[in-house]
């Protein structure tokens, strides 16, 4: 089955309400559908609509279905919470001072920009090889460590976390210092505990910042 050229992934966020993320080669069509339906675009590129008023939320959802059809965009409803919130919650529980920022790779080619920065030879490497990853959360500690958090493809829950670097690398598979990604549980508290005690100790010393 061919991949739709314009997709809208819908998820929910406690502070933001209904969150929409666009992807596909014709992602501007999805942008237009969301704008026509009354969604507001935020600085990081996601679109949001409030859920506090149930009647207004239903009207917005109905309008989105209409405008998505009009602009040739496919709507995908995710059962996962908004990844931007998950990244922020995990970062808040890590030792030291961490921040998290959602990055969107709407066009398929943008995903390829991750390859030079990915310091990883495990499951997250294969995920980027075999799947479309339209968005990710980048966690930073401000002193040189950056981590890539994505939803685990092919699973209903759980996440993958790997390291990023700005140093030149020939082949991460042949580098004995290359860290392997870790599978994280859906709960942010348990995920942060796994990052703190399992992933960071062998990774944080040689991991350098991405610019």
Question: Of 34, 49, 80, which closes a domain?
Answer: 80
Q: How many domains does the chain have?
A: 2
Question: Of 80, 103, 127, which closes a domain?
Answer: 80
CA atoms within 13 A on the CB side of 111: 19
Residue 12 lies in a domain: yes
Residue 209 lies in a domain: no
Give residue 171's pLDDT: 58
Asked whether residue 75 falls in the same domain as residue 88, the answer is no
The mean pLDDT value for 152-165 works out to 93
Asked whether residue 87 falls in the same domain as residue 72, the answer is no
Tell which wins on pLDDT, 160 or 120: 160
Q: pLDDT category, 113, cuts 50, 70, 90? A: confident
**Mean pLDDT over the full length of the chain:** 90
Asked whether residue 73 falls in the same domain as residue 108, the answer is no
Residue 89 lies in a domain: yes
Asked whether residue 140 falls in the same domain as residue 108, the answer is yes
- The region, left, alpha or beta by phi > 0 then psi within -120 to 50, assigned to residue 21 is beta
Residue 208 lies in a domain: no
The mean pLDDT value for 76-105 works out to 97
Structural domain containing residue 167? 83-203
CA distance 39 to 147: 30
Asked whether residue 62 falls in the same domain as residue 166, the answer is no
Under 8 Å between Cβ of 179 and 169: no
> Residue 51 carries which DSSP code?
-
Give residue 144's pLDDT: 83
Q: pLDDT category, 1, cuts 50, 70, 90? A: very low
Question: Of 64, 80, 96, which closes a domain?
Answer: 80
Asked whether the predicted pLDDT for residue 111 surpasses 70, the reply is: yes
The mean pLDDT value for 183-207 works out to 87
Give the pLDDT confidence of 28-77 residue by residue, as tens digits.
999 999 999 999 999 999 999 999 999 999 999 999 999 999 999 999 99
């Amino acid at each position: 089955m061919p991949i739709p050229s314009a997709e809208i992934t819908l998820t929910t966020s406690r502070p933001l309400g209904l969150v929409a993320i666009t992807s596909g080669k014709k992602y501007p069509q999805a942008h237009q559908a969301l704008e026509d339906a009354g969604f507001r675009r935020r600085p990081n590129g996601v679109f949001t609509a409030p859920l506090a008023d149930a009647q207004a939320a239903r009207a917005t959802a109905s309008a989105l279905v209409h405008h998505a059809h009009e602009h040739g965009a496919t709507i995908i409803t995710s059962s996962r919470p908004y990844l931007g919130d998950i990244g922020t919650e995990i970062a808040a529980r890590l030792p030291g001072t961490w921040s998290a920022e959602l990055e969107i790779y709407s066009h398929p080619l943008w995903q390829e920009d991750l390859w030079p920065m990915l310091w990883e030879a495990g499951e997250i490497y294969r995920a980027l090889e075999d799947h479309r990853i339209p968005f990710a959360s980048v966690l930073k500690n401000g002193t040189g460590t950056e981590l890539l958090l994505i939803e685990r493809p092919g699973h209903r829950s759980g996440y993958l976390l790997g390291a990023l670097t700005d140093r030149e690398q020939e082949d991460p598979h042949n580098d004995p210092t290359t860290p392997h990604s870790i599978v994280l549980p859906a709960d942010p508290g348990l995920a942060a505990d796994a990052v703190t005690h399992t992933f960071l100790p062998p990774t944080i010393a040689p991991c350098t910042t991405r610019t």
